[in-house]
């Protein structure tokens, strides 16, 4: 069996395994990728989408807008977005970010998100690891310093991860979001979501879904 056939059969099996749901077909295509990446059907229960999230993500990738990630792992995994012409950046290991974080006594993820605020226009902020990055992104958006077209917030962990996602949903940011409630998430999940959006930029793929 060829690799693409294995993936296709896996997606079919996951779709059946999810069963009844309230997702749109485009949202479901991303949920299937989250489950496929993790082997965890709980994403079918905890995934949340702002009503405008899918279209804003598609538009950002079609326009070749920059994407900012909080980890190099997620950055490396966003292959389909790069193939569509998007530059994927991660600042967390930059020397100036490391120095500033040490100076202020905060996480590098916070300073990396502050650095991302200088990018205009900014397509997508994709956070899969650091709750502090998500909370800082929310703060900067509220203050008008960060202006992404979409925020993907799926940080993983047991300290502030769930809380940061609840804050994302509860905040009136006027920025669409995709998230997964609770402690689960991760760089691979963030990359899967971005790659799923990149696939949806293909109008033929959108027709297949419908």
| Strand 88-89 with 67-69, pairing | parallel
**What is the rounded distance in angstroms from the CA atom of residue 138 to the CA atom of residue 11?**
33
**Active site residues per annotation:** 36
CA–CA separation, 46 and 38 (whole Å) = 14
201 φ/ψ angles, rounded to the nearest 5 degrees = -70, -20
Q: Which residue has the tokens 């703060």?
A: 139
Cα–Cα separations (whole angstroms), residue 55 to 21, 27, 60, 83, 208: 20, 10, 8, 19, 17
103: Cβ contacts below 8 Å, ≥ 6 apart: none
């Amino acid at each position: 069996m060829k690799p693409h056939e294995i993936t296709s059969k896996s997606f079919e099996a996951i779709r059946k395994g999810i069963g009844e749901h309230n997702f749109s077909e485009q949202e479901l295509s991303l949920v299937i990728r989250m489950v496929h990446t993790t082997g965890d059907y709980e994403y079918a229960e905890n995934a949340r989408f702002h009503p405008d999230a899918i279209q804003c993500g598609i538009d950002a990738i079609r326009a070749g807008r920059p994407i900012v990630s909080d980890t190099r792992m997620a950055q490396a995994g966003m292959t389909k977005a790069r193939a569509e012409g998007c530059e994927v950046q991660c600042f967390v290991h930059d020397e100036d970010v490391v120095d500033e974080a040490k100076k202020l006594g905060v996480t590098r993820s916070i300073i990396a998100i502050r650095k991302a605020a200088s990018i205009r226009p900014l397509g997508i902020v994709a956070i899969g690891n650091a709750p502090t990055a998500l909370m800082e992104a929310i703060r900067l958006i509220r203050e008008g310093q960060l202006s992404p077209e979409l925020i993907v917030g799926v940080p993983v962990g047991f300290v502030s991860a769930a809380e940061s996602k609840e804050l994302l949903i509860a905040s009136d940011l006027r920025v669409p979001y995709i998230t997964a409630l609770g402690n689960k998430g991760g760089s691979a999940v963030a990359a899967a979501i971005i790659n799923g959006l990149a696939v949806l930029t293909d109008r033929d793929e959108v027709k297949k879904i419908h």
